[in-house]
Amino acid sequence: MESTKIICPNGHLGFAPLKTASFRIGVEAKPDFIACDSGSNDVGPGPLGSDTSTSPLAWQTHDLEEMLLAARELGVPMVIGSAGDTGTNSRVDLFVSIIQDIAKKHLLPKFKIGYFYSEVDKEYLRAKMQKGTPINGLDERPELTEAQLNATDRIVAMAGVHPFKVLLDQGADVIIGGRSSDSAIFAAAVMSRGHSEADAYYLGKVLECASFCAEPYGGKETVLGEVKSGEVLVTAMSPEQQCTVASVAGHAMYERSNPYHEFVAGGMLDMTKCNYEQVNEKTTRISGQEFIPAEEFRVKLEGAGKTGERFIGIAGIRDPYTIENVDKVIDWAKTQVRDKFGDNGYELHYNVYGKNGVMGDLEPIKEHSSHELCIVVQAVAPTAEIAEEICITGTRQMFYARLENVKGTAGSVSFVLDEVVQTSPAYVWTLNHTIAVEDSLELFPTHMTEGGV
């Protein structure tokens, strides 16, 4: 079997722009595919719930343009998954539109654009639940309830290799995918050329974050992966980086509580028998990985729901005695908010930066603590007006905290932001579940259009 080569220029397309120098080195290696993941739930539930991107449009366009021009130059497929950070339908449409605009700008000859959606209608899940189909929770969550479903604004399913393979089989030159398993984006390309699931999924797992599998640390640099029968080779394209046994193995296993198994749609990648070999200074070879098919095909679901409008306030403290008693200062402010607004119907959070040199509600201040604290106050409520007033109260009342042994002062909080600031609404994850499906494409309708002139 012939080898298959893929380059990945960015671990999260658009989150920060790819580095063009190492990308061009990767292009010169004449890969068979150029592929990249463009999303993650690491950005939190807000972008999914509000159906927006967390990455700037200019950065997304930059990466898509670099990849499209290179793919058309080489005549190889370009594959993108989890479009626009979340993979919602609007983000897929956005990326398809960007690809078409870039093609017109550069007068590219016509090419085929395949794309698929990943959003799931709440009523589809409700009907499944009413028929007795369990929607199982992940990470110790219980089964999905009607109340959780009702509190959800938007849901995406996580695609495996299947819609990508369908579109590649149909001759797509560019694929824009909805929410997708990171590794599946790369695995599908390799599997479409006849390589094993074990090799394909291992390659996908290593390439999904691009240069995070190389050392020294450096984000947004291109990495090349090559699959031959029974082995995977990973090579850093940046002149400053190497893919070593330590860096590749570390990245392959870092996300698992059990570091030897990676779960993918339709089965499990077993890395307990992997053999790592340093081929040269920049390349590591991996062999021995195995794929264990699942007894039941399940698809992961991610859902987010809005909890309210949000305001933030900032306070700074430099007085040593107030720093020592910062917990009492915060308790005082919380009490004043409760006296006015009650105990329910809102959220009030205090994040302390500089306490014991780190953030968080930790042990009382020690002698080596910072001489200055920054406290970020967040208030969430059903309306902007209520959230603003709660945030103002929770921030300003720190200035008026009544501490023991303070004899008539104008206040020991050095600075309080006089005007609180409205920020993005607050969202929470409402779904982190899986559902069994009989058809691997049931939740991922595929489409084909074209770009170019």
Per-residue model confidence as pLDDT tens digits over 50-80: 999 999 999 999 999 999 999 999 999 999 9
**3-state DSSP assignment of residue 164:** helix
Question: So what's the pLDDT on residue 263?
Answer: 61
pLDDT cut 70: percent of the chain above it: 91
Q: What is the CATH number of the domain that holds 350?
A: 3.30.70
pLDDT bracket for residue 361 (50, 70, 90): very low
Alpha-carbon torsion (101, 106, 111, 115), positive or negative: negative
pLDDT greater than 60 at residue 259: no
Of 107, 31, 131, which is closest to residue 76 (Cα–Cα)?
31
Give the helix/strand (H/E) hosting 347: strand 347-355
Question: Is 135 part of a structural domain of the chain?
Answer: no
Which CA distances in Å does 334 have to 309, 345, 426?
19, 14, 20
pLDDT bracket for residue 262 (50, 70, 90): low
Q: How far apart are CA 315 and CA 109, in angstroms?
A: 57
pTM of the model: 0.90
**3-state DSSP assignment of residue 66:** helix
Those residues with Cβ within 8 angstroms of residue 177's Cβ, 6 or more apart along the chain or in another chain:
79, 80, 81, 82, 83, 87, 92, 115, 116, 118, 159, 163, 164, 185
pLDDT cut 90: percent of the chain above it: 78
291 and 186 in a common domain = yes
Instruction: Tell me the per-residue pLDDT of 202-253, one tens digit each, with 9 for 90 and over.
Output: 999 999 999 999 999 998 999 999 999 889 999 999 999 999 999 999 888 8
Which CA distances in Å does 296 have to 76, 187, 267, 301, 438?
34, 20, 9, 16, 9
Residue type, 373: L
400 and 293 in a common domain = no
Of 191, 172, 206, 169, which is closest to residue 266 (Cα–Cα)?
191
Of 179, 131, 136, which is closest to residue 435 (Cα–Cα)?
136
367 and 341 in a common domain = yes
How many CB atoms are closer than 10 A to CB 80?
A: 30
231 and 97 in a common domain = yes
Instruction: Tell me the per-residue pLDDT of 130-182, one tens digit each, with 9 for 90 and over.
Output: 999 999 999 889 999 999 999 999 999 999 999 999 999 999 999 999 999 99
- Report the residue count for the chain: 453
Residue 216, classified by CB atoms within 10 Å of its CB into exposed (0-12), middle (13-18) or buried (19+), is exposed
If one counts the domains in the chain, the total is 2
Q: Which domain holds residue 290?
A: 4-118+158-297+437-451
Confirm if 102 and 176 have CB atoms less than 8 A apart.
no
287 and 327 in a common domain = no
Average pLDDT over residues 288-301: 90
47 and 172 in a common domain = yes
Of 345, 423, 352, 434, which is closest to residue 388 (Cα–Cα)?
423
100 and 200 in a common domain = yes
pLDDT bracket for residue 362 (50, 70, 90): very low
314 and 219 in a common domain = no
281 and 243 in a common domain = yes
Average pLDDT over residues 351-358: 74
Confirm if 162 and 439 have CB atoms less than 8 A apart.
no
Confirm if 232 and 225 have CB atoms less than 8 A apart.
yes
Q: Which conformational region is residue 171 in: left (phi greater than 0), alpha (psi within -120 to 50 degrees), or beta?
A: left
Tell me whether the omega of the peptide bond preceding residue 17 falls within 30 degrees of 0, making it cis: no
64 and 191 in a common domain = yes
Q: What is the mean pLDDT of the chain?
A: 91
